[in-house]
Structure 1
Amino acid sequence: MNILVIGGGGREHALVWKLKQSPQAEKIYCVPGNGGISQDAECLPACAEGDWKSYAALAKSRKIDLVVVGPEAPLAGGIADVLRAEGLKVFGPSKEAARLEGSKIYSKNFMRKHGIPTADFEAFDDPAAALAHLDKKPLPIVIKADGLAAGKGVSVCFTKEEAREAVENMLVKKAFGSAGERILIEDALEGSEVSLMALTDGKTLKPLLTARDYKRVFDGNKGPNTGGMGAVSPSQVPGDASAKIEREITSRFLKGIQQEDLDFRGLIYIGLMLTPHGPKVLEFNVRFGD
């Protein structure tokens, strides 16, 4: 089997390293890859961003049997749809399904519609309305940019001043560009954070190990969020919480994508908070952690 991995970060290096160990893998390519990946795969120059048909042509020229898409941006841009239309097998969800990560507002509305436990929230595109809403909410409070912001579009605010600054940075100063044209203001959840990844073909779902992701830039879980400083796996989850996650979250997620007719063939990454009132979803990602 010839495999093409798309991406050039640590996540893709880990995928290439593991895929190389499979007896089914004959040849592994990576676009664009990096210096470390080049030790385990043949790295090829990147095609123009968004030119998914060029990626399809590249895959066909190398007789690729499976394309594994690493980053969220190409998935949100519809790469899986184009490659599948060209007859290629792809590990990664469609553009519509990738909105579960690409738009936090879409994702939260999906959770609300399908009864998946999550923090209470409101969406805004008007700074004045958002600031007025802040005055009615208790602290701490969470402000999120709607779109993709490389893991940096979330502010957990412990004072009203911090919250107002976060709103103004996103909606007025456009700190995240178009990704911050709309924002979520949601209640902060208390508890232990854990991430669950699961493989799905849209019909069945196979959970993998849990992990604890450490995003804050400074020691002691302080400072702003990054794309990820490190992770530990497995992360301990009590038995009663595991049962609730299966019953109230993963099973409802699977039913939800079926009811919405979302083409999801790939990996769902569920960020969870184990609260005193049970596990609740912080976010969905549509690819492996990085």
Structure 2
Amino acid sequence: MIVLIVGNGGREHALAWKISEAPNVSKVYVAPGNGGTATADSIIENISLTEFDDLVQFAKEKRVDLTVVGPELPLSNGIVDYFQEHGLKIFGPTQQAAQLESSKDFAKNFMVRHGIPTAEHQTFIDIKLAHDYIERKGAPIVIKADGLAAGKGVVVALTLQEAHEAIDSMLSENIFGEAGAQVVIEEFLEGEEVSFIAICDGETILPLASSQDHKRLHDDDLGPNTGGMGAYSPAPIVTDEMHKRIMNQVITPTIEGMQKDGVSFKGFLYAGLMIDKNNQIKTLEFNCRMGDPETQPILFRLKSNLYDILLAAADARLSDFSAEWEDVCSITVVMASHNYPNKPRLNDEIHIPLSNKENCYIFHAGTKLDNNKILTSGGRVLGVTAKARTLQEAKNIVYEFIQDIKFDGAQFRTDIGKKALDYYESIKASR
């Protein structure tokens, strides 16, 4: 079987790596891929195509059996609809279904309409009305660009001044362009953030292992928001009971709500959740693809044939499948470029050990192959992923390996996994 993966991040490298392990897959093309997929010693190959017409033509010429879309932008631009119009099999939501991610206002109204728990909100185009609203509500408060902003369109304003500045930057200074021409203002929620991802075929839902992301740039959740600086799986706060509640209160009502609205949701459904001190669940956001970097530790634990599962989902026969997981903990730590999440410095040479350690793997993101050298080409450069019997062991492996990876201006958090380790300790102490 031949697979085409669309995207160039760490998520796409992880998808390509996992799918290439399937015994019934003979070739995995990645469009456009990165330095990691370019140098993969396997059946993985990059192709320098991004336009829909070119990708469709390539898929036809190579007789691609399944296309898997990694990032949100092509989904919101209708790549699934376009492939389907040309009779090609592709896994991902249609443009209409992808509005769950591409418009926060659409998602919030959808959640309210279908009784899915979420934060109180209002949407604004008028800058004066937005300023007046936050004066009435006070701080802390959350301001979100309505559209896609590469994971950086959310400002958690702890003061009114920060809130006013965020509104000005989006509605007046247009820092996110059209994506910020409308803003969603939400109540501030406190608790633990959890990433819950499921594979859906329109009716059947196959939940993946739980995970927890780290959005802030610096240790102790300080600094600006990023696309994600690390993740681990499983998330200990998602107990079996919490898993059932998330399915019953969020995931199942979402798929059923889409059906009621006349839309079939086929693809990865990612719910970003807040679990408060009383174990109440609120939905922060929906994504219509796997998270990055959550994909890396999740897939590092998956024992099942991912290609078979995704093909079944594309064919609406997911009910025949289940997912089997290794009983281990997995962790990913992201290394980012100098000045990220602002305009990152590019083209720094990356020095990487020649071989991966046992139970450890480097998934590339913002890298490129240039004259047999791996160079930085984006903000988040790579993610080091490891698995072990315990999270502490996996964390030790990752941070030991990171010391051997060198590039100028590299930055990374040193506390990925701390929340989970603290949680485990609190459980022990309460016994």
Picking from 275, 279, 282, the partner of 2:281 is 279
Where structure 1 has 5 or more consecutive residues not aligned to the other structure, the ranges are none
Single out whichever of 127-136 and 26-35 deviates more from structure 2.
26-35
Single out whichever of 243-252 and 212-221 deviates more from structure 2.
243-252
What letter matches 1:243 in structure 2?
K
TM-superposition CA deviations, 1:96-132 (whole Å, max 9, x none): 0111100000011111111000000000001000000
Following the alignment from structure 1 to structure 2, what is the Cα–Cα distance between the partners of residues 261 and 268?
Answer: 17
- Which one has the largest radius of gyration? 2
SS at match of 2:208: strand
The equivalent of 2:91 in structure 1 is 91
The equivalent of 2:267 in structure 1 is 266
The equivalent of 1:45 in structure 2 is 48
Asked whether the 8 Å contact 1:241–1:274 carries over to 2, the reply is no
SS at match of 1:269: strand
Asked whether the 8 Å contact 1:241–1:278 carries over to 2, the reply is no
Following the alignment from structure 1 to structure 2, what is the Cα–Cα distance between the partners of residues 245 and 144?
Answer: 24
The equivalent of 2:115 in structure 1 is 115
SS at match of 2:226: strand
**Aligned pairs (5 A) from 1:1-290:** 1-38=1-38, 39=40, 40=42, 41-48=44-51, 52-236=52-236, 237-275=238-276, 276=278, 278-290=280-292
What letter matches 2:26 in structure 1?
E
SS at match of 1:220: helix
SS at match of 1:263: coil
Asked whether the 8 Å contact 2:138–2:160 carries over to 1, the reply is no
Following the alignment from structure 2 to structure 1, what is the Cα–Cα distance between the partners of residues 222 and 260?
Answer: 40
Q: CA RMSD of the aligned region, Å?
A: 1.1
Following the alignment from structure 2 to structure 1, what is the Cα–Cα distance between the partners of residues 239 and 21?
Answer: 33
Single out whichever of 174-183 and 269-278 deviates more from structure 2.
269-278
Report the Cα offset of residue 283 of structure 1. Answer: 0.3
Report the Cα offset of residue 281 of structure 1. Answer: 0.5
> TM-score of the superposition, structure 1-length normalised?
0.96
Report the Cα offset of residue 246 of structure 1. Answer: 1.8
TM-superposition CA deviations, 1:61-118 (whole Å, max 9, x none): 1110000011100000000000011111111100001111000000111111110000
Report the Cα offset of residue 178 of structure 1. Answer: 0.6
Report the Cα offset of residue 226 of structure 1. Answer: 0.5
Asked whether the 8 Å contact 2:215–2:229 carries over to 1, the reply is yes
Identity of aligned pairs, percent? 47
> TM-score of the superposition, structure 2-length normalised?
0.65
Single out whichever of 246-255 and 127-136 deviates more from structure 2.
246-255
Following the alignment from structure 1 to structure 2, what is the Cα–Cα distance between the partners of residues 152 and 244?
Answer: 29
What letter matches 2:184 in structure 1?
L
Alpha-carbon distance change, 239 to 27 in structure 1, aligned in 2, over 3 angstroms: closer
Alpha-carbon distance change, 190 to 47 in structure 1, aligned in 2, over 3 angstroms: closer
Where structure 2 has 5 or more consecutive residues not aligned to the other structure, the ranges are 293-431
Q: How many residues align?
A: 287
Single out whichever of 131-140 and 68-77 deviates more from structure 2.
131-140
Following the alignment from structure 2 to structure 1, what is the Cα–Cα distance between the partners of residues 159 and 50?
Answer: 45
What letter matches 1:287 in structure 2?
R
Report the Cα offset of residue 136 of structure 1. Answer: 1.0
Asked whether the 8 Å contact 1:244–1:278 carries over to 2, the reply is no
Alpha-carbon distance change, 247 to 186 in structure 1, aligned in 2, over 3 angstroms: same
Following the alignment from structure 1 to structure 2, what is the Cα–Cα distance between the partners of residues 248 and 269?
Answer: 14
